[in-house]
Structure 1
Amino acid sequence: MIAAIATLLLCQLLGEGIHLLTGLPLPGAVIGMFLLLGWLLLRPGERPTLVQVSAWLTAHLSVMFVPAAVGLIEEGPVLAKNGVAIVLATLVSTLLTMVVTALVFHWALTRAERKA
């Protein structure tokens, strides 16, 4: 179990390091997630401890949002100034994502039906 946690933390750390060194416009956590994906693809096989650790983290995901909520509270003046624009951008992007997802699903379903 410790090895699985260490693997996740190592990928996170490497992702943060790559972000700082290269200045990529991706968060270090996302880069670390891609590194973990690459490692899992290069070394296929079952990893029951990694599954256990990730299941536990997913089950307790709400605890992970506490630091984000504190960060939002600290950004009160920025939110007061730009809050409406942020909410509007979030709503528009969410609706756009839902529409594009539905269109792609419809296209894929139509294509699959034509092949069948």
Structure 2
Amino acid sequence: MKQNRHMEVDNDYVQQAIIAREIIDLYRDSQDKIGTAVSLDVLCFAMARLTDCDKVDYPTIDWDNLASNFDGIAASQASDVSAIRKMENDIASTYKKSLKIIKQQLSSHYLTIE
């Protein structure tokens, strides 16, 4: 029973990491970064409420922070290059964290199969 709960928690972490990775990929691949950021801000804010990330000290993915960065990009002017770059670097950090979570899960999954 305890192991199943642990596996469920791990699965939640991985699913959040996958969602974060896909959201960030949508932004990176978009032609209209500011327009895309508007929608992604809303998605990330909704994920923050669904995951209660504001109620834990170290959330798997800090959805509020991700939403804030997309909101900042959406509200910025194209000429705010340094501000946008800073927010994109913060988003890149979340992307790296999500990849790390996914890779850890994949490697532990393969270890349990063997």
Q: Give the TM-score normalised by structure 1.
A: 0.30
Q: Give the TM-score normalised by structure 2.
A: 0.31
Structure scoring higher RCO (CA < 8 A, sep ≥ 6) equals 2
